Amino acid sequence: MFYPAKCVEVEMLINRFNAILEEAIEKQESSVLQLHPRAIISPHAGYVYSGFTANVAHRVLANSKPKRVVVIGPSHRVYLRGMSGSFFDTFETPCGDLVIDRAYLDHLASLFDIDFVPEAHGEHSTETQMPFIHHYLPGAKVVEIVYGEIDPLYLAKMCETILQDPSNGIVISTDLSHYYPLDRAKQLDSICLEAVHNLDPALLHRGCEACGKIGMEAIIVAAKAVGLRPVILDYRTSADASGDTSAVVGYMSAAFVP
């Protein structure tokens, strides 16, 4: 539903995103592609809408060459209290399976309250990240964490623990505002962007309507705790792809770098 089922078509999309990105970067003479983030924020809509924004983040995450990527996203279809871990063996993508690091997930579950709710893992907020990980980091293992009602500070503690291991990377999945007229969406989304840019979790509660706001708050708190600085990579809305400005969805990507 969110990306092509055939590997060749996924690769064609990623190559197209990169061609557009490299042309834009060349014009701006920016060094954004040289970043080495420990964590990223990435959107999770259909690739035609948010794939470019997600691709920027995953491309720079690959610079850090993490051996393990922990993907954290909100549950959209299954009610959860707390969080559920992907206690499976592999995660299928159109271009091949990613190995799930069960041993590391067991380690996290020994430190934090991580349940196993299998039906929660048909979750697009995390699934949409996996083809990018397979493309840029095919040798990396993955861990999928889907959360519902949870204290952002508890999730932040887990993120801090993950970041203590230099071989780890984190992907926080979120979209921004949903189905507002373009001008209103940009106004609301600017609050989310400012909160990330300033590492200000309190600002998230002053109008940011991200579906993964809990994850955003968690990574902001964790980034401050471990000394990472934020870099906003991209922002756009569904109107950029559809041309429809009457009811848009906002997307951003960001990197957290030493």
Domain count across the chain: 1
Asked whether residue 116 is domain-assigned, the answer is yes
- Token pair 């009811």 is found at 247
- pLDDT tens sequence across 209-225: 999 999 999 999 999 99
Q: What share of the chain is helix, strand, coil (3-state, %, to 5)?
A: 45, 25, 30
Asked whether residue 29 is domain-assigned, the answer is no
- pLDDT tens sequence across 228-253: 999 999 999 999 999 999 999 999 99
Helix axes 182-197, 213-226, angle to 10 degrees: 30
Percentage of the chain modeled with pLDDT above 70: 98
Where in the sequence is the domain holding 111, given as residue range(s)? 7-23+36-257
Between the CA of residue 18 and those of 8, 54, 59, what are the distances in Å?
A: 15, 11, 9
- pLDDT tens sequence across 146-178: 999 999 999 999 999 999 999 999 999 999 999
Structure tokens at 236: 């756009």
Give the number of other CB atoms < 10 A from CB of residue 168: 22
Asked whether residue 119 is domain-assigned, the answer is yes
In 3-state terms, what secondary structure has residue 255?
strand
Alpha-helical runs (H) found in 91-172: 102-111, 124-127, 130-136, 152-163
CATH number at residue 98: 3.40.830.10
Distance from C-alpha of 204 to C-alpha of 192, rounded to nearest angstrom: 6
Average per-residue pLDDT for the chain:
96
C-beta of residue 148 within 8 angstroms of C-beta of residue 221? no
Give residue 29's pLDDT: 56
Structure tokens at 13: 């999309």
Asked whether residue 83 is domain-assigned, the answer is yes
